[in-house]
């Protein structure tokens, strides 16, 4: 049944009609989840060189080091490790050996047990065999044993890649990444596996190692490889290598430099820059044009980046939402709505709200990590600054969105909805804590 606005065209006809205009030749090249060919990787020579040097020994059947790839979002960490692993797999194959790349994203599994299960599944999929253990009803040790069994039976060398390792927090006081790292870093000793093994973790936090407990720290000594932000020139190069995503002549000259300039303003994230270029192309197509213009880029930037920040907040974990909420509430309920919110009082607000909601309270360090991580998504800025003569240096946050809008976005999550009725109590707590902070020496 067609509605009055449909011009009598069915859904099928719409789907089958070529859109007029059409600026894309190969749109996949400007999708940030597309795995690109090696010849489109631009720069990152240092990081690439180190990952290559670290993984090369597998070709001689020699031991591999563990690695930690850290740096802000969209700076090529996953790209580099997977590009190198792909070559290693192929080179091993040509030597008649099988190299296993067992990669999982730690945002999903929540516990070390489930993460181990996902590794078993990753191996089983790769090998096209049965996982051989159920997800529930058996211990983590039994799952690990199955993982090692698959390794012994099929692989000559293995790399475990744990992406977004910091997200594996779990429901307990002590974050679950500790036990996963501890267990996997001991695989060399416990798996009875003849080949080399590398445990490679990926995180946005430069100082992630400091969060690990002493057990995990003592068994995991990775080569720490840092990926810094891209500047506008680097982003321009990255985008130029994807120019053929568009039909020849369909990109105005200024488009790539402008996308790169916007991208470098928001923490040099290549993923965002690639998305922005695609959105600009989509807007051009929507208006039936055959050329993407500077105006399309500006419109795309306006339309998508603002609500992307809020969308990001909606999709983050409960603890991170709680941390962001505490910062926004401290700004919103303060009498003077300060632009820069001191971390100390914001942490007190966090503790109070956590208590009100009856959820776990994390340490101040974890709280600060959760908040500062948001800067990579453009939600806020942070810096250390003095409180005044001789009164110490403190961490401050500055939100880039209206605090009330942030709070409303978080309250759309039913677990936070009741906070709307806590206006008066949170206001009292915030004002008291800010007053103490400002008068304390």
Ligand X SMILES: Nc1ncnc2c1ncn2[C@@H]1O[C@H](COP(=O)(O)OP(=O)(O)OP(=O)(O)O)[C@@H](O)[C@H]1O
Q: Does 433 bind ligand X (CB under 6 A)?
A: no
Q: What is the closest distance, in whole angstroms, from the C-beta atom of residue 169 to ligand X in the complex? A: 17
Q: Of 165 and 353, which CB lies nearer to ligand X in the complex structure? A: 165
Q: By Cβ distance, which residue is nearest to ligand X?
A: 76
Q: Which of 191, 189, 187, 178 is nearest to 218 (CA)?
A: 178
Name beta bridge partners: 103.
161
From candidates 58, 119, 167, 274, binder to ligand X by CB under 6 A: 274
Q: Does 32 bind ligand X (CB under 6 A)?
A: yes
Is 118 labeled as ligand-binding?
Answer: no
Helices of type H across 287-421? 294-314, 318-333, 343-357, 364-373, 403-411
DSSP 8-state code for residue 251: B
From candidates 42, 67, 191, 353, binder to ligand X by CB under 6 A: 42
CA–CA distance, 398 with 377 (Å, rounded to integer)? 13
CA–CA distance, 145 with 141 (Å, rounded to integer)? 6
CA–CA distance, 169 with 212 (Å, rounded to integer)? 11
Q: What is the closest distance, in whole angstroms, from the C-beta atom of residue 76 to ligand X in the complex? A: 3
DSSP 8-state code for residue 108: T
From candidates 56, 215, 271, 411, binder to ligand X by CB under 6 A: 271
Q: Of 103 and 219, which CB lies nearer to ligand X in the complex structure? A: 103
Q: Please give the radius of gyration of the chain, using alpha carbons only, rounded to the nearest integer.
A: 25
Q: Does 348 bind ligand X (CB under 6 A)?
A: no
Q: What is the closest distance, in whole angstroms, from the C-beta atom of residue 105 to ligand X in the complex? A: 8
CA–CA distance, 239 with 199 (Å, rounded to integer)? 32
Helix (H) or strand (E) holding 55: helix 45-55
Is 77 labeled as ligand-binding?
Answer: yes
Structure tokens at 44: 């990152």
From candidates 64, 68, 77, 321, binder to ligand X by CB under 6 A: 77
Q: Are 52 and 88 in contact (CB under 8 A)?
A: no
From candidates 27, 40, 247, 308, binder to ligand X by CB under 6 A: 40
Which range touches ligand X (CB under 6 A), out of 36-44, 167-175, 325-333, 406-414? 36-44
HSE-up (13 A, CA, CB side) for residue 430: 25
Which range touches ligand X (CB under 6 A), out of 21-29, 76-84, 209-217, 284-292? 76-84
- Number of residues binding to ligand X, judged by CB under 6 A: 20
String of contacts with ligand X for each residue 176-215, x by CB under 6 A = ----------------------------x-----------
Q: Are 157 and 97 in contact (CB under 8 A)?
A: yes
Residues near ligand X (CB under 6 A) are: 32, 36, 40-44, 73-79, 204, 227, 238, 270-271, 274
User: Which residues participate in the annotated binding site?
Assistant: 75-79, 230, 242
């Amino acid at each position: 049944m067609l509605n009055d606005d449909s011009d009598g065209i069915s859904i099928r006809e719409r789907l089958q009609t070529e859109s007029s205009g059409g600026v894309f030749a190969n749109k996949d090249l400007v999708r940030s989840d597309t795995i690109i060919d090696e010849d489109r990787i631009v720069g990152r020579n240092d990081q690439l060189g180190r990952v290559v040097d670290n993984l090369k020994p597998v070709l001689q059947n020699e031991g591999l080091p563990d690695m930690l790839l850290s740096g802000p979002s969209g700076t090529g960490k996953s790209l580099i490790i997977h590009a190198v692993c792909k070559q290693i797999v192929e080179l091993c194959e040509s030597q008649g050996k099988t190299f296993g790349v067992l990669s999982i994203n730690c945002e999903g599994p929540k516990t070390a047990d489930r993460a181990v299960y996902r590794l078993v599944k990753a191996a089983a999929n790769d090998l096209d065999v049965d996982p051989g253990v159920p997800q529930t009803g058996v211990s983590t040790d039994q799952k690990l044993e199955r993982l090692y069994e698959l390794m012994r039976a099929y692989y000559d060398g293995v790399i475990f890649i744990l992406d977004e390792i910091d997200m594996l927090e779990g429901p307990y006081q002590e974050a679950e990444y500790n036990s996963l790292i501890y267990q996997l870093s001991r695989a060399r000793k416990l798996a009875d596996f003849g080949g080399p093994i590398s445990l490679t973790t990926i995180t946005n936090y430069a100082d992630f190692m400091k969060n690990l407990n002493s057990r995990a720290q003592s068994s995991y000594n990775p080569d720490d490889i840092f990926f810094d932000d891209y500047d506008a020139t680097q982003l321009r190069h990255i985008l130029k290598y994807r120019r053929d995503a568009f039909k020849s002549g369909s990109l105005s000259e200024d488009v790539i430099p402008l996308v790169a300039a916007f991208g470098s303003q928001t923490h040099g994230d290549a993923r965002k820059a690639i998305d922005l270029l695609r959105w600009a192309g989509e807007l051009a197509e929507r208006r039936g044009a055959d050329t993407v213009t500077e105006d399309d880029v500006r419109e795309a930037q306006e339309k998508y980046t603002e609500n992307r920040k809020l969308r990001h907040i909606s999709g983050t974990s409960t603890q991170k939402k709680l941390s962001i909420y505490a910062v926004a509430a401290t700004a919103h309920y303060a009498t003077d709505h300060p632009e820069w919110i001191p971390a100390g009082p914001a942490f007190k607000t966090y503790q109070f709200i956590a208590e009100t909601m009856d959820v776990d309270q994390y340490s101040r360090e974890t709280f600060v990590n959760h908040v500062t991580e948001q800067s990579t998504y453009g939600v806020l800025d942070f810096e250390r600054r003095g409180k005044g003569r001789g009164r110490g240096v403190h961490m401050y946050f500055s939100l880039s969105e209206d605090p009330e809008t942030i709070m409303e976005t978080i309250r759309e999550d039913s677990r936070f909805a009741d906070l709307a009725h806590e206006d008066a109590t949170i206001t009292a707590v915030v004002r008291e804590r800010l007053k103490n902070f400002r008068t304390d020496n």
